[in-house]
Amino acid sequence: MTTTPAAEPAHRPVPAGASGVIAFIGLGNMGGPMAANLVRAGYRVQAFDLAEPALAAARDAGVTVATDAGEAARGADVVITMLPAGRHVLSTYSGGLLDAAPAGALFIDCSTIDVADARKAVEAAHAAGKRALDAPVSGGTTGATNGTLTFMVGGADADVDAARPVLEAMGRKIVHCGGSGAGQAAKLCNNMLLGIQMIGVAEAFVLAESLGLSQEALFEVSSTATGQCWALNTNCPVPGPVPTSPANRDYQGGFAVALMAKDLGLATTALDAGGLGSPLGRLAAQVYGDLATTDRAGQDFSTVINVLRERTATATQS
Ligand code: NAD
């Protein structure tokens, strides 16, 4: 006797159960492809963005476009936000999103925002009878498009377990970092480290140039010695040693200076709140903050080496 396999459901149910609907607010460079990956995974996605082109692209990807955030959240088991900053998340939550979603809906904020704002957002969600997580990402627009993001998640165990299948449709690695705000904390700590490391790697190349040491020789030694790190081994700030690094494409693509400056600004706020000195983190925030006001703001953050070279030239002349 042959058995007929059960027909695939038209849409994948979201873990907590009921409707299988996910609301997605913020369909920009990151949110657009993330929402498209949820559709591809079989979820029914209702979404909203203030920008018409973002809505049009989402429609093409199979997303149901709503007239406002509240309409997107109606009947949704999971509500994802991917917005520019904390103020957008808090105002969207309080401006109708929390009220419109069903009781017990799971709110997942994937934006990179201040830790204090992340905790406020969770408190507001809990006060409205909803569940909530902070789940910022790393992996950039390539990771968002390819569904290979890393999610750093803060919140209760049961809520993280419920969110996992949804996050797995958009990412490759899900790390539960601790309670509310711990995901944002991990993101800020990591990016402060990354910003400092990139400046260190760039300074080493500039010093090598002045000592007559070739870039290839420095790379060959340091990429396998104690100086190795992602900023050197993967995102090398000079063209040549790592053919895929943005330096080989005139610093186009990659992780923009403006975003690094934003993340270091958030890290500085956290340093101030904790009364921490952290001189290198603060200096990195200043270096990238200055760079973000120039025409290099859109370039990959490894372009910082060009500023260091210019500073070296200025110092030599004076
Ligand atoms: P983006 O500017 O491309 O997209 C943000 C979108 O939010 C825009 O389409 C905008 O119209 C929409 N928006 C703003 N306010 C809104 C509101 N009230 N209601 C509905 N839509 C609204 O930004 P992005 O690059 O997609 O980044 C989003 C978040 O992800 C940011 O917090 C950023 O720091 C973080 N992030 C970005 C990257 C990256 O490489 N771009 C990487 C990691 C994390």
Residue of 198, 139, 209, 149 whose CA lies nearest to 173: 149
What pTM, to 2 d.p., does this model score? 0.91
Which pLDDT does position 315 carry in this prediction? 63
- The answer to whether residues 189 and 269 belong to one domain is yes
Which pLDDT does position 12 carry in this prediction? 53
pLDDT, averaged across the chain: 93
Domain that holds residue 304: 185-317
- Name the residue type at position 223: S
CB-based pocket (< 6 A), ligand 1:
25-31, 48-51, 54, 69, 82-84, 88, 92, 111-112, 137-138, 140-141, 255, 259, 262
- The answer to whether residues 170 and 189 belong to one domain is no
> In whole angstroms, what is the distance from residue 140 CA to residue 35 CA?
15
Question: Is the pLDDT confidence value at 14 over 90?
Answer: no
Neighbouring residues of 295: CB distance < 8 A, sequence distance ≥ 6 = none
**CATH number of the domain residue 108 falls in:** 3.40.50.720
DSSP letter for 74, please.
T
- The answer to whether residues 151 and 271 belong to one domain is no
Question: Is the pLDDT confidence value at 224 over 80?
Answer: yes
Query: Which of 2-11, 102-111, 238-247 comes out lowest in average pLDDT?
Result: 2-11
- The answer to whether residues 23 and 105 belong to one domain is yes
Rounded distance from Cα 111 to ligand 1 centre (Å): 7
Look at ligand 1, atom 1, and give the residue with the nearest C-alpha.
28
Reported in sequence order, the residue ranges of 242-316 that DSSP labels E, i.e. its strands, are none
Q: Do residues 153 and 179 touch, judged by C-beta distance below 8 A?
A: no
Question: Is the pLDDT confidence value at 88 over 70?
Answer: yes
| Residue of 48, 83, 300 best suited for mutating to test ligand 1, as the one with most atoms within 8 Å of CB | 83
Domain endpoint, select from 156, 179, 202: 179
Residue of 237, 279, 242, 288 whose CA lies nearest to 261: 288
Rounded distance from Cα 204 to ligand 1 centre (Å): 34
Domain endpoint, select from 164, 179, 194: 179
Rounded distance from Cα 9 to ligand 1 centre (Å): 32
Number of domains in the chain: 2
Question: Using one digit for the tens of pLDDT, what is the confidence trace for 121-150?
Answer: 999 999 999 999 999 999 888 899 999 999
- The answer to whether residues 98 and 216 belong to one domain is no
